[in-house]
Amino acid sequence: MSYQVLARKWRPRTFHELVGQEHVVRALTNALDRQRLHHAFLFTGTRGVGKTTIARIFAKSLNCETGVSSTPCGQCSACQEIDAGRFVDLIEVDAASRTKVDETRELLENVQYAPSRGRFKVYLIDEVHMFSNHSFNALLKTLEEPPPHVKFLLATTDPQKLPVTILSRCLQFSLKRLPAGMIARYLQQVLDQEGIPAEAGALQLIAHAGDGSMRDALSLLDQAIAFGSGQVETAAVSTMLGSIDRRQVTALLEALAANDAPGLLRQVAALDENVPDYAAVLAELLSLLQRVALTQAVPDALADDEVVDPAELRRFAELLPPEDVQLFYQIALLGRRDLPLAPDPRGGFEMALLRMLCFRPAASEPATAPMRVATTVAPALTSTPVPATANVPRIMPPPAMSAPPASEWGELVAQLSLAGIPKQVALNSALAERNGDAFRLTLEPGYAQMLNKAVEDRIQAALQQYLGRPVTLKIQVGATVATTPAIQQKQQQAERQQTAAEQIRQDPHVRDMQEMFDAKIAAVHPLDETDETR
């Protein structure tokens, strides 16, 4: 017996064998069981999601010799002939090869005649959007007043090309792209039945390559079985698909997070040994960054992620400030678009990664970046910026008392190299006690969910970087006695807003305009410090 490909061998023959598309199956089974049958059905969706399969099962349900129901027997001659594709009253048409109006009219000439074998004469027209306008007009006449023994099952991947006159006469069902996890589980079931060993990672790769299409995934599975000599292994499937090892993409993001340009270029060199598709590498990096951003916004959003280890996502979410993640994503997106314009794919890929390092926010720069010394922390210094380089000694601030003024911590935070969540924690904490180089902060309870060991370590590192010597830091959640920097900023903003509003009301020019034009002041926005210095 000749070999039958998996996509045909494992094509569902009943509604309960279908994977996904529960919304369509539910509507059709209810219609069949209650005998509320429309004369025309339109199935839409991308390739390989089950449009013609559902149509054939529906035709079998209509013509099963046991009666019309959602559970055809599969044993009678009508069911077997439909499964074999030789049932005389199931007329399958490929609209792409019958675009002429004469062919459509010839097809529909026999609509008026009763079915030869079955209960209904079923017309299954695939890719119906390929019909010409004249062919649609010929079909429309039949759809307007169809005989009771005729059912039309239309399938298309592009319903926008169908005239509204056709759409309005059909019940439309939109089939969804299948999730990769669902496809992988079905592939495992198929291989279990076939007795073929497979690795879970390999099935995940095939499921993602199927891009929502079960038929495409089954075809790739056939190819993987042949490629692996009867086994489906992750390494072989990765080679077959030309896919990227996700660990290499993770290593790239590690180097980006560490601001390690030499390490980043070493990772690219290791990647280049496999001659990868650099656009695909950027796509994998984009996918990883998107998951990290989701984890930062909603920590439990990807707790069951089957592609990336959730623990790894949480680690990156704590390691990278949100603004860095957004910047990296945007640069990778633009880099993928511009990659075909680069003289060399590897060079274009490297430039995209180096842009991520060069354009990171100043707060994310390494310890060699220039710093500004706060006058409240070191009163002996002026407010002139002093570069924190190895050749210029830093004047150490005097030890603070155990009850420091609230403004001291706020002005110190403004000088620290912090961003993202660590900066928010620092801004919403009050300096409860400082003894020399030992800091104890109290974090407002509303921000407790932001606090973890990584955030505390980052604030401590920023303090050590600024002060130039080791410090100890302890952050506790509780009611703050002193004012936090965030509250200070709000108070200062409110004072500036009040002052600006008063100045506007006292301005003689503004009063003249109010009197002359009966004008009213809608809103007052005070200039920030950068605007005032321009």
What pLDDT is attached to residue 522? 73
**CB 109 within 8 Å of CB 141:** no
User: Which of 306, 341, 360 lies at the terminal end of a domain, its last residue?
Assistant: 360
Q: Which residue has the tokens 């690795």?
A: 199
- Phi, psi at 121, each rounded to 5°: -95, 120
- Average pLDDT (125-133) is 89
292 and 218 fall within a common domain: no
Q: Can you give the pTM of this predicted structure? A: 0.58
- Average pLDDT (83-94) is 90
Which 3-state string (H, E, C) describes 504-520? HHHCHHHHHHHHHHCCC
Tokens of residue 306, six digits: 């089957």
Alpha-carbon gap, residue 350 to 162, rounded angstroms = 46
What pLDDT is attached to residue 364? 43
Which 3-state string (H, E, C) describes 431-458? EEEEECCEEEEEECHHHHHHCCHHHHHH
**Residue 1 included in any domain:** no
**CB 278 within 8 Å of CB 239:** no
Phi-psi region of 240 (alpha: psi -120 to 50; beta: other; left: phi over 0): alpha
128 secondary structure, DSSP code: G
CATH code, domain carrying 236: 1.10.8.60
228 and 99 fall within a common domain: no
473 secondary structure, DSSP code: E
69: nearest Cα among 99, 29, 38, 15: 29
129 and 39 fall within a common domain: yes
Mean residue pLDDT across the chain: 83
342 and 229 fall within a common domain: no
58 and 124 fall within a common domain: yes
pLDDT of residue 390 exceeding 60, the answer is no
pLDDT > 90 fraction of the chain, expressed in percent and rounded: 41
User: Which of 221, 241, 261 lies at the terminal end of a domain, its last residue?
Assistant: 241
pLDDT of residue 370 exceeding 60, the answer is no
Residue 389: pLDDT band with limits 50, 70, 90? very low
* Bridge partners, residue 155, by sequence: 43
**Residue 405 included in any domain:** no
Beta carbons within 8 Å of 390's beta carbon, 6+ residues apart: none
Domain that holds residue 505: 487-532
pLDDT > 70 fraction of the chain, expressed in percent and rounded: 88
Q: How many CB atoms lie within 10 A of CB 362?
A: 9
156 and 47 fall within a common domain: yes
468: nearest Cα among 437, 425, 432: 437
**Residue 365 included in any domain:** no
Tokens of residue 45, six digits: 């969706």
- Average pLDDT (527-532) is 52
Residue 401: pLDDT band with limits 50, 70, 90? very low
pLDDT digits (tens, 9 = 90+) for 17-44: 998 889 999 999 999 999 899 999 999 9
Tokens of residue 511, six digits: 């009063």
Residue 331: pLDDT band with limits 50, 70, 90? very high
Run of H or E including 60: helix 51-63
Beta carbons within 8 Å of 135's beta carbon, 6+ residues apart: 95, 98, 99, 100, 101, 103, 104
**CB 124 within 8 Å of CB 90:** yes
pLDDT of residue 372 exceeding 50, the answer is no
Alpha-carbon gap, residue 466 to 345, rounded angstroms = 41
- Average pLDDT (162-171) is 92
**CB 216 within 8 Å of CB 49:** no
Residue 515: pLDDT band with limits 50, 70, 90? confident
Alpha-carbon gap, residue 384 to 393, rounded angstroms = 15
16 and 105 fall within a common domain: yes
**CB 463 within 8 Å of CB 433:** no
What pLDDT is attached to residue 299? 83
CA-atom Rg of the chain in angstroms: 34
Beta carbons within 8 Å of 410's beta carbon, 6+ residues apart: 483, 484, 485, 488, 489
pLDDT of residue 285 exceeding 90, the answer is yes
**How many domains does one find in the chain?**
4
What pLDDT is attached to residue 268? 92
Run of H or E including 474: strand 472-477
**Residue 268 included in any domain:** yes
What pLDDT is attached to residue 82? 92
CATH code, domain carrying 339: 1.20.272.10
User: Which of 157, 174, 191 lies at the terminal end of a domain, its last residue?
Assistant: 174
165 and 17 fall within a common domain: yes
**Residue 456 included in any domain:** no
What pLDDT is attached to residue 406? 53
189 and 47 fall within a common domain: no
228 secondary structure, DSSP code: T
Alpha-carbon gap, residue 517 to 159, rounded angstroms = 57
Q: Which residue has the tokens 């990778």?
A: 332
Alpha-carbon gap, residue 376 to 407, rounded angstroms = 8
Strand runs (DSSP E) across 97-166, as ranges?
A: 121-126, 150-156
Residue 64: pLDDT band with limits 50, 70, 90? very high
16 and 118 fall within a common domain: yes
Q: In one letter, which amino acid is 123?
A: Y
Weakest-pLDDT range from 22-31, 126-135, 397-406 = 397-406
149 and 168 fall within a common domain: yes
206 and 352 fall within a common domain: no
What pLDDT is attached to residue 483? 83
433: nearest Cα among 455, 458, 409: 409
Alpha-carbon gap, residue 205 to 347, rounded angstroms = 27
Alpha-carbon gap, residue 268 to 58, rounded angstroms = 53
Weakest-pLDDT range from 189-203, 237-251, 280-294 = 237-251
What pLDDT is attached to residue 405? 56
pLDDT digits (tens, 9 = 90+) for 436-486: 889 999 998 888 888 888 889 999 999 998 888 999 999 998 887 778 888
pLDDT of residue 378 exceeding 80, the answer is no
Alpha-carbon gap, residue 400 to 364, rounded angstroms = 28
Q: Which residue has the tokens 């598309």?
A: 21
**CB 40 within 8 Å of CB 151:** yes
